[in-house]
Copies of this chain bind each other. A is one copy, B any other.
Amino acid sequence: MKVGIREVARAAGVSTATVSRALGRGPVSDALREQVAEAVRATGYRPNLSARRLRSQAAQTIGLIVADIRNPFFTAVSRAVEDAAFASGMRVILCNTDEDPAREAMYLRLMEEERVTGVIFAPTVATTATLGDEPLDYPVVLIDRAGPPGAHDSVILDNPTAGSALVDHLVAGGYRRIGGLFGSTSSTARERRAGYEAAMARHGLTPAVRAVPPNAAAAEAEIARWFAGPARPEALIASNGLILMGAVRAARALGLTIPGDLALAGFDNEPWTDLVEPGLTVIEQPVAEIGTQAMRLLFERIANPDQPIRKVVLSGRMVSRGSTLAR
């Protein structure tokens, strides 16, 4: 038999309004509050969250839209987001887009139908361009990837600086022909590439970049093609953890020693990067911080919808390991 607030009210000898107030925070006398608590216990009542959401017009739900939860970067961020959400009594709906703009659009629409409290979103460049066009009816915080300036709050890494830092590090180690392998779908990759190119120019070196879909297999294949040609780099910078993994695989497959034949540096200080031999030099991203800051921005935006757009830029930390040993 189904027990609703009605049955609780009857059991406690009060009105449903009083039950609702006793359960939430409403002005109820201590005596009645205790009666209601007892009635809840006796009846085994569980509030129906759909009904609550409908009436109170507060979904208490946030959407988290990322490329692929299996990317450890997003995994870590999502964990932080979920912790923050549940701590505030909110649910999280997780969506994987596989970097597909059509799926991004679909999920953005779905979030509208869910009447979500807000969305945390890592968009592809394609979607980024159209993001400002028609306003969504929920606040959005962009993570990892920047949107058109001034349209949405965002929390991202200082990508240009990080990209430059890797170049500087490699140059200091005596490397000159430094190639770059960057993801083709995110603004993040573009910014890292810009930092790479700026640093290369500053050092009087000619950049050599290739863009790939951000996954290990694509990166590995691209490097194989690259090394089949004449202009082989002596060092390689990978714009994220998946591409970096592809690079390691490619080096193994080609029989290249690291860093002797090819120095390697990249992004994302994933656990395996110091387990391979030699360890990989990476820019570590403050993954948990990105998630919690995104939630903070979201909550503050909700509390104060008209405040100016904010952009939190976090610094990466370079972790220097054997893969970029000075030659």
Contact = CB atoms under 8 A, between A and B. Distances in A.
Interface of A: 46-51, 53-54, 59, 68-70, 72, 75-76, 78-79, 82-83, 86, 91-96, 109, 112-115, 216, 245, 248-249, 252, 270-272, 275-277
Given A271-B245, A272-B271, A275-B245, A113 B49 contact: yes
Nearest to A242: B271
A46 B106 CA distance: 13
B59 A68 contact: no
B114 A49 contact: yes
A134 B72 CA distance: 37
A96 B275 CA distance: 27
A50 B46 contact: no
Contacts of A109: 46
Contacts of A92: 93-94
A46 B110 CA distance: 9
A82 B70 contact: no
**3 nearest CB pairs, A to B:** A272-B272, A50-B53, A50-B54
A326 B142 CA distance: 52
A84 B54 CA distance: 27
Given A271-B272, A275-B275, A79 B93 contact: no
Most buried by B among A49, A51, A68, A270: A49
A295 B266 CA distance: 37
Nearest to A249: B275
A311 to B, nearest CB: 27
A191 B272 CA distance: 27
Contacts of A115: 48-50
A82 to B, nearest CB: 6
Contact of A276 (B49, B245, B275): B275
A37 to B, nearest CB: 16
A275 B51 CA distance: 51
Most buried by B among A46, A50, A272: A50
A214 to B, nearest CB: 15
A216 B70 CA distance: 19
Contacts of A54: 48, 50-51, 54
A183 B76 CA distance: 22
